[in-house]
Chain A
Amino acid sequence: GAVVSQHPSWVICKSGTSVKIECRSLDFQATTMFWYRQFPKQSLMLMATSNEGSKATYEQGVEKDKFLINHASLTLSTLTVTSAHPEDSSFYICSAINPRRQGSYEQYFGPGTRLTVT
């Protein structure tokens, strides 16, 4: 299967600081990546769609100025949580579609980043 990595796997930061999370597709090129957030005992909620070379598309209710997404290359997307607050503490997961087969749309997830804001 395809491999998607995330870094860091966990991070603790102080309120008001910014945190950058990296998502990489290791063995395929991903023109599109997705960022999700998952609070305890809840399902994944899509935050934004990250497109290589263009601006991200944010879901309703997600502040684009707070959650900065940059898809700088076909294998890397970054999510920066700016001026983090305790309510931003969550499990952030990225995913990418592996276009290895035409008509194939399997989406693979990174291992996730657990963010704790104190």
Chain B
Amino acid sequence: QKEVEQNSGPLSVPEGAIASLNCTYSDRGSQSFFWYRQYSGKSPELIMFIYSNGDKEDGRFTAQLNKASQYVSLLIRDSQPSDSATYLCAVSRSGNTPLVFGKGTRLSVIA
């Protein structure tokens, strides 16, 4: 059974702080790792993807991957109230394979 685990939250952080979201996965064959943001009533929006161990930065977002520990995280710097949403971690083996999603972490950024 391929599983992706996330803390459901809610994770509350003050505006301007760093939000840290974590995810673990069970399938060691996973090669592709994604973070999606989903606002209530909307479909997921891709915000980061990472394929190699280490860090990947894109603006205020940094994804971190540690395949040995089967762990992937997302850091959001200078958190804004508009970042308040559910963040979904997703993994796949590779190529045209479907994503396996975690249940998501609800983030609340307090102004």
Write the residues of chain B forming the contact surface with A, with a CB cutoff of 8 angstroms: 32, 34, 36, 41-46, 49, 51, 88, 90, 92, 94-96, 98-104
Contacts of B99 in A (CB 8 A): 34, 46, 95, 107
Give the interface residue-count category, chain A. 20 to 34
Q: Are A43 and B49 in contact (CB under 8 A)?
A: no
Q: Mark A104-118, 1 if CB is under 8 A from B, else 0.
A: 011111111010000
Q: Tell me if A42 is interfacial: C-beta within 8 Å of chain B.
A: yes
Closest to A112 in B: B43
Task: Report the minimum CB–CB distance from A73 to chain B (whole Å).
Answer: 17
A77 at interface by CB-CB < 8 Å: no
Task: From A44, A103, A108, A112, name the one whose CB has the most chain B CB atoms within 10 angstroms.
Answer: A44
Determine whether the beta carbon of B98 is less than 8 Å from that of A105: no
* CB under 8 Å from chain B, chain A span 27-86: 31-32, 34, 42-44, 46, 49
CA distance A105 to B33 in the complex (A): 10
Across the interface, do A34 and B98 meet the contact criterion of CB distance under 8 Å? Answer: yes
> When the two chains form their complex, are residues B88 and A43 in contact, meaning their CB atoms are under 8 A apart?
yes
Whether a CB of chain B sits under 8 angstroms from the CB of A21 is no
Q: Cβ of A43 and Cβ of B95 under 8 Å apart?
A: no
Please state if A109 and B49 are interface contacts (CB–CB under 8 Å). no
Given A91-B43, A105-B96, A111-B42, 11 more pairs with CB closer than 8 A: A1-B46, A43-B101, A43-B102, A43-B103, A43-B104, A95-B99, A105-B49, A106-B34, A106-B49, A109-B43, A109-B45
Q: Is the CB of B92 within 8 A of A112?
A: no
CA of A103 to CA of B96, assembled, Å: 11
Distance in angstroms from B89 CB to nearest chain A CB is: 10
CB distance from A86 to the nearest CB of B (A): 20
Question: A44 to chain B: which residues have CB within 8 Å?
Answer: 44, 88, 101
Residues of B with C-beta under 8 A to A43: 88, 101-104
Cross-chain contact B103 with A105 (CB below 8 angstroms) = no
In the complex where A93-B43, A112-B43 touch, is A105 in contact with B92 (Cβ < 8 A)?
Answer: yes
14 A/B residue pairs, CB under 8 Å, sorted by A: A34-B99, A43-B102, A44-B88, A44-B101, A46-B99, A46-B100, A105-B95, A106-B34, A106-B46, A107-B46, A108-B46, A109-B44, A110-B43, A111-B42
